[in-house]
């Protein structure tokens, strides 16, 4: 029986890529459930299927078969328009590369996300101001990316992702381009956003230490989940 609080539900998920005459099974019958407010880390080596799972949950690629329900939307049955709606209304992304527009200030990078979502952007809402304070970038908003450190750029990217109040924050190797100190700072911030704001987070990483910041760790190998464990004492 499915939990009514589940915000992500994956059932018997398969993804098969055709490469000429060869079929590559990137996902092989994956089952996963993520409650609202969870911080889930998905860890595994290259080729384990974690990025494919991320892309399907985020509506960036369709599954071959199986059920994927995200925020009440059945992604497995949605077409291109449905997956676009998923990305507009339910999920936001943070990537290894910060993907900030280089000619815009941090403030305008965040405003761009609001404009795309059709939300007012002239003045930041009080809750977004609180997020900027939590992220420690409230005094860096008028700087362009080239004037910010890598850690500050990733914090701006996180603020931009959260500006639209997504149900789910999807983080793809969010510390991959950062040094150790900034990596730990960003992971601490993600954990704070989860604990203080109840933000649901799904993070994929190859870094076992980074994965420990989640409430639960899912280990993938060869397109399958081979272990799921809690990090809570």
Instruction: Give, rounded to a whole angstrom, the gap between the first and last alpha carbons of the chain.
Output: 26
HSE-CB for 200 with a 13 A CA cutoff:
18
**Domain 37-59+89-230, what fold?**
Rossmann fold (3.40.50)
Structural contact between residues 165 and 91, judged by C-beta atoms closer than 8 angstroms: no
pTM of the predicted structure, to 2 decimals: 0.90
Q: What is the C-alpha to C-alpha distance for residues 165 and 76, in angstroms, rounded to an integer?
A: 23
What pLDDT shows up at residue 1?
36
**pLDDT > 70 fraction of the chain, expressed in percent and rounded:** 97
The pLDDT-based confidence of 2 (bands split at 50, 70, 90) is very low
Q: Which two tokens stand for residue 37?
A: 């407010």
The pLDDT-based confidence of 90 (bands split at 50, 70, 90) is confident
Q: Give the Å distances, CA to CA, from 35 to 40, 107, 121, 154.
A: 9, 32, 30, 26
Taking the mean position of all CA atoms in its chain, how far away is CA 95?
8
pLDDT at position 142 over 50: yes
Return the domain boundaries, the chain. 37-59+89-230
Where do we find the tokens 């609180």? 130
C-alpha Rg value of the chain to the nearest Å:
18
């Amino acid at each position: 029986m499915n939990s009514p609080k589940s915000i992500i539900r994956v059932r018997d998920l398969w993804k098969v890529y055709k490469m000429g005459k060869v079929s590559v099974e990137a996902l092989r019958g994956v089952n996963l459930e993520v409650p609202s407010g969870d911080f889930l880390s998905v860890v595994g080596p290259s080729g384990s299927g974690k990025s494919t799972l991320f892309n399907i949950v985020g509506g960036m690629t369709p599954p071959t078969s199986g059920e994927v329900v995200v925020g009440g939307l059945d992604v497995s049955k949605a077409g291109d328009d449905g997956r676009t709606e998923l990305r507009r209304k339910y999920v936001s992304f943070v990537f290894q590369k910060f993907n900030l527009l280089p000619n815009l200030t941090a403030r305008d990078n965040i405003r761009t996300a609001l404009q795309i979502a059709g939300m007012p952007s002239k003045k930041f809402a009080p809750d977004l101001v609180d997020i900027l304070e939590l992220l420690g970038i409230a005094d860096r908003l008028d700087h362009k990316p080239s004037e910010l450190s890598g850690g500050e750029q990733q914090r701006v990217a996180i603020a931009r992702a959260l500006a639209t109040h997504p149900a789910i924050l999807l983080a793809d190797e969010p510390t991959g381009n950062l040094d150790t100190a900034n990596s730990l700072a960003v992971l601490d911030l993600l954990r704070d956003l989860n604990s203080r704001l109840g933000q649901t987070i799904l993070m994929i990483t190859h870094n076992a230490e980074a994965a420990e910041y989640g409430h639960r760790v899912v280990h993938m190998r060869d397109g399958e989940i081979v272990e799921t464990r809690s990090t809570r004492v």
